[in-house]
Amino acid sequence: ITIESRICAIHGNTDPAAFEDEILSAKEQGDSVGGVIEVVAYGCPAGLGDPVFSKLDAAIAGAMMGIGAVKGVEIGEGFTAARMFGSEMNDPIRTTGFASNHAGGILGGISTGEAIVVRLAVKPTPSISIPQQTLDTDGNETTISIQGRHDPCIVPRVLVVAECMLALVLMDALLMQETLSGFME
């Protein structure tokens, strides 16, 4: 299994040439930006997971949501699928394999053998230099200014963590399958 990742967007901008400018602009303003990353596992065997209690997509989503600053997870077409017809979303099986991979390599909680495609929404860091509204310990409205170093964007850091989390989930699924059926022989 090979895992790769990439940044898809920073602050809504999908042009990789503009990512650094988006981050530097936020930094200059004392603010922060989030983004979207994609993590893909190639070469994962078909049959990992379970249709009910140990769904592979549920395990992946749970692991990814455990990463700090991750606020959303989609597998395959994810939220785009909500705007598609069933005839568009279906992944027809051909003699040469699947005609598409809209499901992101997982159907019914079980891996299909296609690439497992996961996208994550990463929020901007909350510790910024711009004054922010909050409540004090007595419940009164107040303004705070956070001093010190601030990360204008942690999206690039999340890439490595997400790759590792996907590797852990897939290895766990492989070991579970081996335990249950001698799958790796």
CB proximity list for 158: less than 8 A, separation 6 or greater: 37, 67, 69, 70, 120, 122
How do strand 132-135 and strand 141-144 relate by DSSP bridges?
A: antiparallel
- Residue 19 pLDDT more than 80? yes
Q: Read off the pLDDT of residues 76-115 as tens digits, 9 standing for 90 and up.
A: 999 999 999 999 999 999 998 899 999 999 999 999 999 9
CB proximity list for 177: less than 8 A, separation 6 or greater: 47, 48, 183, 184
CB proximity list for 9: less than 8 A, separation 6 or greater: 35, 36
Q: Read off the pLDDT of residues 130-169 as tens digits, 9 standing for 90 and up.
A: 999 999 999 999 999 888 888 999 999 999 999 999 999 9
CA distance linking residue 33 with residue 73, whole number of Å: 18
- Residue ranges per domain, the chain? 2-181
User: What value does the mean pLDDT of the chain take?
Assistant: 94
pTM, two decimal places: 0.91
Q: Tell me the CATH number for domain 2-181.
A: 3.60.150.10
